[in-house]
Structure formats: structure tokens, C-alpha cells
Structure 1
Amino acid sequence: MFAPPAAGSPGPSAPPAGMFDSMPGYEGTLAGGGGGFLPPPMPAYPVPQPEPGPEQPHWNIPSINEDTAREAFVLFASSKCCYSSAPAKDGVITGMDAFNTYRYRLETFTESRLTEWSHEPYNGQPVDAFSQPPPGPWDIPAQAPSFFMDGKQTMKVPYTSSMKPCHVCLGMGRKPCKDCAGAGNKVCWVCNGSGYRHGDDRCHHCNGRGRDNCNHCHGQGSTQCPTCRGKQQLLVYINLTVKWTNNIDNYVVEQLSGLQVDNLSKVSGKELFRDSQYMVYPVVGFPDPAVVQAAQRLVNEHQGKYSQTSRILQQRQTIELIPVTKVTYSWKGNSHIYFVYGNEFKVSADNYPATCCCSVM
């Protein structure tokens, strides 16, 4: 039999705050206690210098020819199970208009740090809390991934590990069985607790006791505590989570062709300009004022936003020229349009003239 805390009480999922002594250097910085992501030390930012924009001769992309436009259209139609290929193969191209557009992209690669209390069953691990002051959250070395690649690393903060009784089982190593409420047995399901089946026939299932041993705890009334795994003690320590994030914002200049801008997020263009450094300066000297204004706005936003809660490690800005061709064609006496866009020659044709209704049975 086992009868400490009532089996119905769920118990805390984490050690109560009173279990922890104040950890020097970490007061008020732990998640769940008013803390969270920690602001980095104030850096001495180098002054970013302006980078010239791309030179004029490289801004043009040759228009695609009719063969390329038709080949892309046929490939698009063949990829759709309900599209006939006839319009793509037999339609007569009557016009092609280029609506090339610019995409400005700013990437800010950041590192953020989060501290929180954690615990694991105590199996004789070193206990080092208060043997010396722990290093600060931003003083602990971490191996960052390559620039502009997301990553995550979790590690114990040195000199924060201590041993505490398990808060779930109160240091007993076992918990009351939920199936039998700690009794070790349950009402016999055959005789419903009477001990007899028919009249004076003793129940053979429970030998007339009216109760069965609990299968879940094998009659013990308790099960091993899942938190300390029966060890009764926990190693409690501060966990540091280091997260690297590539924060990306794009601005696409409206190209007035009728193609939805969202389509352009799935394709690449011809790169005209690239600038990568610790802190970039908004691009200058570009002929399209919309790109210059977007660069100024996004650079200011990123440097103001991400420096508050994380450390900026690197920034990169690029300008691409994305080819967009509006193709007009005639099929069965009617005029239709489709778009070919991006280096990948993607096709968008919202009103394809030969489709059928089909369903998967």
C-alpha cells in the first residue's frame, strides 16, 4: 500500500520557486520569473559606410523569345492533371510584354539567449553551485553556424547545479497509482465486488475477495516517479538556450502587369547588387527611388528592432532584377494571357481555357 499525496492531485510540473537559492548574476533573468530573452551587452557599432549601387549597363534582362514562352506554357499545362495541353501547344502568341521588376532583400542574422531553470534525475552528476560565481549569459562561448543559417544550442550554465528533493514525489521516488488510487487493488470486474457470481458460487476470478490486484502497479499501490525516475533527488541547474535566426524582409517594386506579387516569392532573379557586412548602410545611387526608400526603411527597422533583444552578427542586402513577361495568345477565336516569370520560367495562368472537372475516388 502507498498513501502519501492523493492520487488525483496532478502535482507541480516544475520545482517551486522557493526551492532555489538566488543565483548570483541571474537574479530576475530566468524565464518564468519575469525574465526571458536577455538583451545583449551594448556593442560599439562601427559606422556603416555607403556602398554604391549597381552600374547601369547590367540592369537589363533580355526578353524571352516565343519558343521559350511556349515551352514553359506546355510544361505548365502538362503538370496539371485537369488541363488539356491543346491551348498551350496550338494557341497563337499575339503579343509579349516585359514587366521586369526589382526585389530588394535585407537579411539580419541575430543571436539571442534565453535562460531558464531545468532539472534531471540525480545520478551522481557534479554539484557545483556557489563554488564560484557563474559566468554571465553572454559570456558563455557558443559555436555559431555559418552566417544566415538558423541554429540552436542548449547548454548547462557552469556553477549553477545543485541537488534538491524531487518536487513531484516529495523525495519518495514513487507516486500513488492513478488506476487504483494508491490502494493496490480494484473492485473485481467479474463479480462487481460481491465475491460471488451466481448465488453461493464463489468468484473464481478474485477467489471470493471481491477485489483484484491492480495490473498497472502490480498490487504495490504506487509507480516509479517519472520526474526523478525513482532517484528521489533532482539535479537542478540553469539552462542556456542560444538561438541563431536569419530575419528576412523583402520589398518588390510593383510591376503593373497584373501578376500577383506573391508569385514572385517563389522564384529567383538576376542579382544586381550584394552587400554583406556587420551593419549595412542603406543602398544609395539606385535609379528606382522605391528601392532606395525601401532599403532606408528596412535597414532602420532591422537595426532598431533586433538590437533590443538579440545581438546582430551580420547583415546582407541584395537587389535582384526579376524577369516578368506577359504573353497574349489566341485560341479558338478568343484572346487569353499568361505570365512567364523568374529565372525558373514559372508560369501563371489563372483562366486557362481548357480544363475539366475531375475527382479522386
Structure 2
Amino acid sequence: MMINPQMGSAVYAPGAGPPPGTFGNVPGYENMAGGGGGFFPPPMPLQPVAPSAPPSNQQDWSIPCISEEVARKAFKEYASSHCCYNKSPAEDGVITSMEPHNTYRYRIETFTESRSTDWAHKPHKGEPADFYTQPAPQPWEVHAPPPNLFTNHTEQIRVPFTSTIKDCHTCKASGTAPCSECKGVGSKDCWVCHGSGKTETTNCGRCNSTGRESCSTCKGQGTQACGTCEGRRQLLSFIQLKVEWTNHMEDFVVQQGSGLKVEELSSVTGKELFKGNQSLVYPLLGFPDPAISQASERLVREHQAKYAQTSRILQQRQTVELIPVAKVGYKWKGEAHCYYVTGNEQRVSADYPATCCCVVL
């Protein structure tokens, strides 16, 4: 270790952070002592507040089945959106049945914040080295305003009072590095004659028959500014705090015997029956459909147990939707088929009976 007389701060050998043990004396950063970083466990978890009130039994649960006209229109638009679909089934098919299969979807979202640290560096541009001028704030004390709730976001923050100045480990404090284009030679093969010194009929005029030309990237010098320190020779080394806000979302769909795959409902919306968020939620006990109550109890327990171990839970939200699902039976060319119209978007899912293969030349 050397002492920088101008800065009055420690300057460490190229390619290394502060020596092992330096940060072992900083409360809250003991795991940085070996030169690496890592995850920091969150503060004590919150406790759930009063239970959310489930929807009332008197609430209107019904969603009227769509009309044949709406079902046919949705099917025609579906067929028209696929260039390889023959329009005949959608236009000429005869609807024979309309079955509503309205489906409950329960969703839980757990919005968490996690914090981890690691060594980082940047070109030194005159910033003072503040290591040990004051006690460094502990990882969960560093101010990091969260984004909007239930929004994924990441912030990289330099931890105050952990910065030191060191020689650049890439260029050994020279400020330069071999040119990446010519590999430090200063010249490269002529692009006209490809290094031969001749064209098809004459000597190459661009390189004067040498087969080489000066490298335009480094202007023939063979070196360029070091990419790590940007030619400044020194780096500001510090502990960097990574703060990650993550929305963990999980759905449970009550099967209604329609035959439609659950994945087909992932991108549609329905009639919102319940929505509530708290720091920590309670399960929706007493919901009119017991399958929703059971799913809520299981998922709330699993989320709180899983994510509280690795992060701080900032907010939870649970919703229940009733998604309209219509199973439409129809006949085309004497054969029976069906399709589904789902969600407020009236999205169609179907095994279409008349397709062709398009070849793009």
C-alpha cells in the first residue's frame, strides 16, 4: 500500500481492492473482507395486519354469455388475422352451441426489495477518496427510494465513505492499451488488395504495393486510451450496492371443465371481484368458491415464507377475477368443431380446421 500525498488516502496495487481485512472492520460489511461481495439479509420482517375482507356472498357473480353475433364476429377477426387460414370455417360455419364457462382467477403479487454488494470501479476523475472519513452506512441504511409499487427496477449505488484510489489494473497505470483493431501493430492489411500488394491487373495504389496500410483507429500509433480508466491511469474503487425491486406474481385458475388450457387465459382480463393490498396480506378466507380460499391460503403462506428469507417484502396484493369464457360449437362441411372466446378482449382460441402452408421465397 502507498499513500497518495495529494489526496492523503490509501492507493492500492493495480488489480486489487483494499487488502483482505480492511472492510472487516466496517460494521455491516464484514463479508467484503475477502475482496468479494454478496447478499445482505433484510431487516426483521413485518407482521401481517388485519385480514382482508373477502367479497360478499350478495355480490353479482354472473357474466352473461356472449351472443352468437359477437362469437361469430370474434371468430372472423381471428381467421382474418392469420394469413394462412382459409376464411370459410369462420364465414360459413354454423354455430350449434354456446356454453358459458366463467372462470375464477386468483392472483397474488409480492413486491420485494433485495440488496447485495460487490467491488466496483470507475475512471478516477478527481473525486476525493472518502474511505473511513466517516462510518459507512450499513447496506439497508443507504437511501434508495423505491419505484412505483409492483414495478421491477434495479439501482446501482456507490456506498458513501468506501471509495479509494488505485492504479488501473488493466494498463498498469500507463493510460494506454494495444489498439483493438490492429492488435498494437499500428497497421493492418490493405482493404483493397487484402494484403497481397496487388489487384487483379496492377500493383495496389492504395498501399503502394506494400499490402499494409496505417490503422485508422489508432492513427498508426498501435495504442489507444485504456478502456478501463479511459486514459486517466487511476481508478476510483468503491463498494457498490445493488438494489433490486421485484414483483413476484403467481396465478391460480379454478378449472371449470371447459377443456380450455389454462395458459390461454394468461393474457386476458375479466371482471374484477376483489382487489386488496397491504404490507402483508391475510388469505381470503370464506370466499364463496372454496378453491379460491384454499389457493389463497396456500400461496400467501408460500410467498411470505419464501421471499422474506431473501428480501424485504414491501407490499402484497391479491386479486380475484371472473374471466368470461364461451365455448362455441359449430359445424363446417359436416364436421363438428369448437372454439373459445375468452376475456374482456374476446380473444379466440381454436384448433382451426382449414390452414395452408406458406412458403416465403
Q: TM-score, normalised by structure 2?
A: 0.82
Aligned length: 334
Secondary structure (helix, strand or coil) at the match of 1:138 reads helix
Give the secondary structure class of the aligned counterpart of 1:51: coil
The equivalent position to 1:68 in structure 2, one of 67, 70, 75, is 70
Q: Residue in 2 aligned with 1:238?
A: 239
Question: Shift in Å at residue 19 of structure 1?
Answer: 4.8
Comparing 176-185 and 276-285, the one that deviates more: 176-185
Residues of 2 paired with 1:85 and 1:204: CA distance? Answer: 67
Counterpart in the other structure of 2:27? 25
Give, in angstroms, the shift of residue 359 of structure 1: 2.3
Indicate if the aligned counterparts of 1:119 and 1:234 stay in contact, CA closer than 8 A. Answer: yes
Q: Tell me the equivalent position of 1:15.
A: 15
Give the C-alpha shift of residue 30 in structure 1. Answer: 4.8
Measure, in 1, the Cα distance between the counterparts of 2:188 and 2:328. Answer: 77
Q: Identify which of 128, 134, 146 aligns with 1:144.
A: 146
Measured at CA, do residues 33 and 122 of structure 1 come closer, stay the same or move farther in structure 2, by a change above 3 Å?
A: closer
Q: Using the alignment, how far apart are the partners of 1:259 and 1:315 within structure 2?
A: 29
Equivalent residues of 2:280, 2:316 under 8 A apart: yes
Change (3 A) 1:31 1:328: farther
Distance 2:81 2:222 in 1: 63
Gaps of 5+ in 2: 1-13, 198-202
Give the Å deviation of 1:54.
3.7
What's the counterpart of residue 78 of structure 1? 80
Q: Once the 2 structures are TM-superposed, how far is the Cα of residue 153 of structure 1 from its aligned partner? A: 1.9
- The 3 A distance-change label for structure 1 pair 339 and 186 is closer
SS in 1 for 2:269: coil
How far is the alpha carbon of 1:50 from its aligned partner?
4.5
1:54 and 1:272 in contact (8 A); partners too: no
109, 118, 121: which is aligned to 1:119? 121
Please tell me the residue identity of whatever aligns with 1:164.
K
Deviations 1:269-295 (A, max 9, x none): 111111111100010111222211111
Q: Which residue of 2 aligns with 1:160?
A: 162
CA distance change for structure 1 residues 240 and 69 in 2, over 3 Å: closer, same or farther? same
* Deviation sequence 1:86-121 (CA, Å, 0-9, x none): 222222211111111110000011111121111111
The one-letter code of the counterpart of 1:300 is R
Greater displacement, 176-185 / 282-291: 176-185
Task: Say yes or no: does 1:92 pair with 2:84.
Answer: no
The residue aligned with 2:294 is: 293
Deviation of 1:314 after TM superposition, in Å, equals 0.6
C-alpha separation between the residues in 1 aligned to 2:308 and 2:259?
Answer: 38
Q: State the distance in 2 between where 1:353 and 1:182 align.
A: 64
* Corresponding residue number in structure 1 for 2:354: 354
Q: Unpaired segments of 5 or more residues in structure 1?
A: 1-13, 192-196, 198-202
Quickly say closer, same or farther: Cα 1:180–1:347, change in 2 above 3 A: closer
Q: Name the amino acid aligned to 2:294.
A: Q
C-alpha deviation, 1:37, in angstroms: 2.8
Instruction: Please list the CA deviations of residues 220-243 of structure 1 after superposition, one character each: whole Å capped at 9, or x if unmatched.
Output: 554332211222211111111211
Q: 1:204 to 1:133 in 2, by over 3 A?
A: same
Return 253-262 or 15-24, whichever deviates more: 15-24
Structure 1's 332 and 122: CA in aligned 2 closer, same or farther, altered over 3 A? same
Q: Hey, what does 1:302 align to over in structure 2?
A: 303
Aligned counterpart, 2:322: 321
Does the 8 Å contact 1:37/1:113 carry over to 2?
Answer: yes
Pair 1:337 & 2:345 matched = no
Q: Distance in 1 between matches of 2:40 and 2:57?
A: 43
2:115/2:311 contact within 8 Å kept: yes
What is the CA–CA distance in structure 2 between the aligned matches of 1:187 and 1:274, rounded to whole Å?
A: 67
Q: Which residue of 2 aligns with 1:256?
A: 257
Distance apart, 1:61 and its partner CA? 1.0
The separation in 2 between residues aligned to 1:79 and 1:95, in whole angstroms, is: 24
Matched residue of 2:242: which SS? strand
Of stretches 249-258 and 179-188 in structure 1, the one that deviates more from structure 2 is 179-188
Quote the residue 2:172 is aligned against.
170
Find the aligned partners of 2:36 and 2:20 in 1 and give their Cα distance.
15
The 10-residue stretch of structure 1 (56-65 or 66-75) with the greater mean CA deviation from structure 2 = 56-65
- Aligned-residue offset at 1:337: 0.9
For the residue of structure 1 that corresponds to 2:40, the secondary structure is coil
RMSD (CA atoms)? 3.1
Query: Quick one: structure 1 residues 186 and 275, their matched pair in 2 at CA, closer, same or farther if it must change by over 3 Å?
Result: closer
| Superimposed CA distance per residue, residues 58-101 of structure 1 (whole angstroms, 9 cap, x where no aligned partner) | 21111112111111111111112122222222222111111111
Query: Identity of paired residues, percent?
Result: 53
Q: Please state how far the C-alpha of 1:353 moved relative to its aligned partner.
A: 2.8
Whole-Å separation in 1 of the counterparts to 2:77 and 2:183: 66
Write out per-residue CA displacement over residues 190-247 of structure 1, whole angstroms, 9 at most, x where no aligned residue. 79xxxxx9xxxxx9767xxxx9987765565543322112222111111112111111
Q: Residues 324 and 131 of structure 1: is their aligned pair in 2 closer, same or farther, counting only changes over 3 Å? A: same
